[in-house]
Amino acid sequence: MGDSVQQSLEADPQLEESPPFNANSADEPAAEDDETAATEASEPTPPAANRETAASSTNTTRAPEPGERGFIGPLWSQAEPADSTAPQNDPDPGSETAESVDQAISDLTGVPADLQSYIRDLQTLDVIEPVATVAAEDSPQATTTAPFTTAITRREYAQWLFDSHNAIYADDPGDRLRAGNPSDEPAFQDVAATDPNFAAIQGLAEAGLIPSAFTGNSTAVNFRPDAPLVREDLILWKVPLDSRTALPTTTPAAVTTAWGFQDAATIDPLPLRAIAADFQLGDFANFRRAFGYTTLFRPDKAVTRAEAAAVLWRFGSQTEGQTAADIAEAPD
């Protein structure tokens, strides 16, 4: 039994010849690492710039730089990273953003070139604005286009007329219009004291510029603020602020002779007198500035916002007057 136990404890000759775990296999990776380290040690050290580039490629926690997503800085640097090989120009701090430039261009889309400068000058005075962009009910993406080519309402023109005149005569208190007071008797049944444009509409009516019961027009009880403004009212409300005198008496034949309008007979008597007074303004006539040359007046044609702006660009007689450009360029 002792011999049997001794034999069981002796090593298996077959295992001695082929051990289950090769001792050299555990040493092979270490040998490869030593060889790699030796190779790297023999290579030249890369320049500092390359080392920084290599380090930045493996560093996942570095702060984003200008031109990269996530960078906290000006709005223009939130865009996708630009090509590093392309020249990078810093934007002018005083320039408008692309969005504001695009908006200004879209506001004048479709506006005749002759009228665009009038709009810009009045916008400088902050007295006119394009209509607010509103999505259509059946298509949220469809919005109003070319605001200054759409018809202007009577309420909006009254506000523009009031504000433009007072901006141009800001330094002449005696020539400025006075706003209506909410405690005053309303000039029109459909423009209450709570109406957002009441002060301007009431002020124009009390100044006798808009026909109302105050001017003896007993039938003018409603202003119809949201109706489109038509050409004859465009001229009728504006010309008295230019001439500063009573409107002259005239006839359709006289207006036809002066203006050459073929449809003078279709114009109401009171607007006809304003058109005759407008002719006396010569080259500064409101109708010429807004509509150019035409042989048709078309009294009931709706007025666009661009045409209204052209009319409001200047106030004054043929010999004396001021424009929005004069005020915008005046030194502070």
User: Does residue 279 fall inside a structural domain?
Assistant: yes
21 versus 106: the higher-pLDDT residue is 106
pLDDT of residue 294: 96
**Per-residue pLDDT band at 167 (split at 50, 70, 90):** very high
Whether residue 150 is contained in a domain is answered as yes
Residue 170 pLDDT more than 60? yes
CA 295/CA 262 separation, integer angstroms: 6
Q: CA 162, CA 258: separation in Å to the nearest integer?
A: 29
pLDDT (tens digit per residue) in 13-25: 554 554 544 444 4
In-domain check, residue 5: no
Strand, coil or helix: 208: coil
Structural domain containing residue 238: 110-329
Q: Which of 56-60, 80-84, 273-277 has the highest mean pLDDT?
A: 273-277
Backbone phi, psi, residue 230, to 5°: -110, 165
Residue 98: what pLDDT?
52
pLDDT for 257 beyond 70: yes
Name which residue leads in pLDDT, 45 or 156.
156
pLDDT (0 to 100) of residue 147? 87
pLDDT value of position 64: 56
Structure tokens given for 177: 């219009």
Q: What is the SS3 assignment for 264?
A: helix
283-300 confidence digits (pLDDT tens): 999 999 999 999 999 999
What percentage of the chain reaches a pLDDT higher than 90?
A: 58
Predicted confidence band at 129 (pLDDT cuts at 50, 70, 90)?
Answer: confident
* Residues whose CB falls within 8 Å of the CB of residue 298, separated by 6 or more in sequence, listed in order: 231, 263
Whether 327 shows a pLDDT value over 70: the answer reads yes
The mean pLDDT of 95-108, rounded to a whole number, is 58
282, part of any domain:
yes
Structural domain includes residue 62:
no
Q: How many CB atoms lie within 10 A of CB 309?
A: 28
Domain count, the chain: 1
Q: How many CB atoms lie within 10 A of CB 327?
A: 18
pLDDT of 70 over the 60 cut: no
Q: Does 222 score more than 80 pLDDT?
A: yes
Label residue 156 by pLDDT band (50, 70, 90): very high
Cβ pair 187, 214 in contact under 8 A: yes
Asked, for residue 123, whether it belongs to a domain, the answer is yes
- Residue listed under structure tokens 């006075």: 178
pLDDT value, residue 107 = 79
Residue 307 Rama label (left phi>0; alpha psi -120 to 50; beta): alpha
